[in-house]
Amino acid sequence: MYVFVYGTLKRGFINNWLLTESYYICPTRTNEEYLMVNLNYFPGVLELENDEYIDLGEPKSKISGELYKVDNRTISTLDKFEEPFFYRKRTYLENGVEAWMYFLKNEYYNDDSNRKIENGFWR
């Protein structure tokens, strides 16, 4: 099972230790374009589809991150770690792999004060 991470779970960031038992594969990007926002200490990526209250004029971009191979235990640790703010969904990456990715729930998105990360790369 693959997971694609784009924030504090990446190598060199504070929560990467959660992936110590996982296998790092490579840096890559998503095929789809999404909205990435900066939430001070971490980023969030939002799916803009199926949502009536977010303006589709938001700057979307391919999201840059890292691909890991993980086991069931790690993915359930990550699920617990990301709740209740994020949900997990499959997405296709530029290298052809389909991986799990964590998206910010729309209810936690606040258009007024979020800083958008227009190039889809958080660091």
Q: Which residues bind another protein (CB under 8 A)?
A: 7-8, 13-15, 39-42, 81-82, 84-86, 102, 107-108, 110, 112-114
Q: Which is nearer to another protein, 5 or 93 (CB)?
A: 5
Q: Which is nearer to another protein, 2 or 102 (CB)?
A: 102
Q: Which is nearer to another protein, 31 or 105 (CB)?
A: 105
**96's tokens:** 């052809």
Q: Least separation, in Å, of the C-beta of 102 and another protein?
A: 8
**93's tokens:** 């990456």
Let me know: does 6 contact 63? Beta carbons within 8 Å: yes
Q: What is the DSSP letter of 86?
A: E
Q: Which is nearer to another protein, 15 or 31 (CB)?
A: 15
Could you tell me the end-to-end alpha-carbon distance of the chain, in angstroms, rounded to an integer? 25
**77's tokens:** 């640790």
Instruction: Report which of 5, 23, 24 is spatially closest to residue 14, judged by C-alpha positions.
Output: 5
Q: Least separation, in Å, of the C-beta of 37 and another protein?
A: 8
Q: Least separation, in Å, of the C-beta of 80 and another protein?
A: 9
Q: Where are the alpha helices (DSSP H) in the chain?
A: 72-82
Q: Least separation, in Å, of the C-beta of 110 and another protein?
A: 4
